[in-house]
Amino acid sequence: MYYGKGDIKLPGGMMMHAYGIVLTTFENEQQARPVIDEILRCRLAACVQEIRIKSHYSWKGELCHEDEVLVLLKTRKELYPQLEKKLLEIHPYETPEILFVDAKKGSAAYLAWIDEQTRK
């Protein structure tokens, strides 16, 4: 198992992982594209994927059932504060979904590639 060179072993054997995936959503691919391009230009994520989804939620007292695009941004944990700040600046939603999920494991080659792609 490869944890990544930036991982830190905490007391009790718990790991603080150096990599993760940030999730956010958009109305459609056209709305997502300029945000994705800016994140990649700034090297805040190595890879971005789009998945069409159906979202169900309550917003301002109304039930909503919307087609959306889920965007997955592969990044380093240390970049999350900058990535979150950039998303909040340029995301078209009033309250965008921005969630960081730890990547507990990954292939050494892929994690090295994330490092390479997110270096300035």
- Is 79 part of any domain? yes
- Is 6 part of any domain? no
Tell me how many domains the chain contains: 1
Contact predicate 119/43, CB 8 Å: yes
Instruction: Provide Rg for the chain, Cα atoms.
Output: 16
Residue-wise pLDDT tens for the chain (120 aa)? 444 555 545 455 544 479 999 999 999 999 999 999 999 999 999 999 999 999 999 999 999 999 999 999 999 999 999 999 999 999 999 999 999 999 988 999 999 999 999 997
- Is 49 part of any domain? yes
Tracing tokens 């994690």 back to the chain, one arrives at 111
Length of the chain: 120
- The domain of 74 spans 23-117
pTM exceeds cut of 0.75: yes
- Is 3 part of any domain? no
Secondary structure in 3-state letters for 68-101: EEEEEEEEEHHHHHHHHHHHHHHCCCCCCCCEEE
- Is 54 part of any domain? yes
- Kindly report the CATH number assigned to the domain that includes residue 28: 3.30.70.120
- DSSP symbol at 2: -
β-pairing, 19-26 vs 47-59, is unpaired
